[in-house]
Amino acid sequence: MRKAPRQQRSRVTVDAIIEAATRVLAHRGWARFTTNEIAAVAGVSVGSLYQYFPDKLAIAEAIRQRHLDEVLVALSGTDDEVEQEGDAVAMLPRRVERFVDGVIAAHSVDQALHRVLMGEVPLAARSSYPEFEAQYQRRYRALVAESRGPGESADTEVAARMLSSAVEGAVHAAARRGDLETPVMKTELVRLVLAYLSDRQRAGRGSIGMRVAGVDTASDPDHNAPTPRLRGC
C-alpha cells in the first residue's frame, strides 16, 4: 500500500476500494482486473485509488491478506480442546475429524475468490502468502506429531508434506466439482487421513512393513519419501 489511511474518511475509502476490487477480481479474474473498473465500482476517482495503491498488484495483495486472514479465522473456529488423556491411537479419530472440519472450512471461504488468488494472481514481492503457508503447514505437522504412536519416528516433516499433498489435492478437486461441503466428502477425507496416520502408527509398532519400490519403509529409517511442492490452501 502506497499510503496508510490515518483518518476515518481515508479508511472508509481504502475499505471501499478493497471491497470493490474483491468483487471485480472474483467475477472477472486477474486478466480483466483493472484499476479503472475498480475505481468505478468503488465510486472513487482513479487518482484517489492511486493515492493508496501504486498498481493493481498492490490491490490484489491487500485482497489476499484480507482473504487469508479470514481463512485463518475459519480454521481456528474449528479448533477445540481435545481431551489429552489416553494414547495417540485412542484420540486419533477425534483429532482427525476436527482437523478435516478445519480444512473444509478454510477452503469454503469465498471459493471463487480463492481460486483466482491461488491460481491466477502473481505473488507480490512482499506477499502475505508465504507466512500463511507456513502457518497452514504447521497444522499438518502438528497433527502428524500428535498422532505419533510408540516407536514411530519423530521426524514428521516428510509425513506432513505427503499428507498435505493428498488432502489438498482431494479438497481442491472437490471444490471445483462443487461438492466440498457434502457429508460424504467429509467422511472420505476423514477416512483418507485416518488410514494414513493409522498405518504410520502400526508401522511404528512394527506390526507391518510397507514396501515401496522394493524398499522396506518400516525397517529402513534412511528411506525418504518424495516431498512435492505444496500450494497450501
Per-residue pLDDT of the chain (233 residues; tens, 9 = 90+): 555 556 778 889 999 999 999 999 999 999 999 999 999 999 999 999 999 999 999 999 999 999 999 999 988 877 665 555 556 567 889 889 999 999 999 999 999 999 999 889 998 888 889 999 999 999 999 999 888 765 556 678 899 999 999 999 999 999 989 999 999 999 999 999 999 998 887 776 554 444 444 434 444 444 444 333 334 45
Residue 64 backbone phi and psi in degrees, to 5: -60, -45
Buried b / exposed e along 213-222 (16+ C-beta atoms within 10 A): eeeebbeeee
| CA distances for 37 relative to 8, 22, 206, angstroms | 24, 12, 62
User: What's 1-54's CATH class?
Assistant: mainly alpha
In angstroms, the CA 25 to CA 75 distance is 24
Cα dihedral sign for 150, 156, 158, 160?
positive
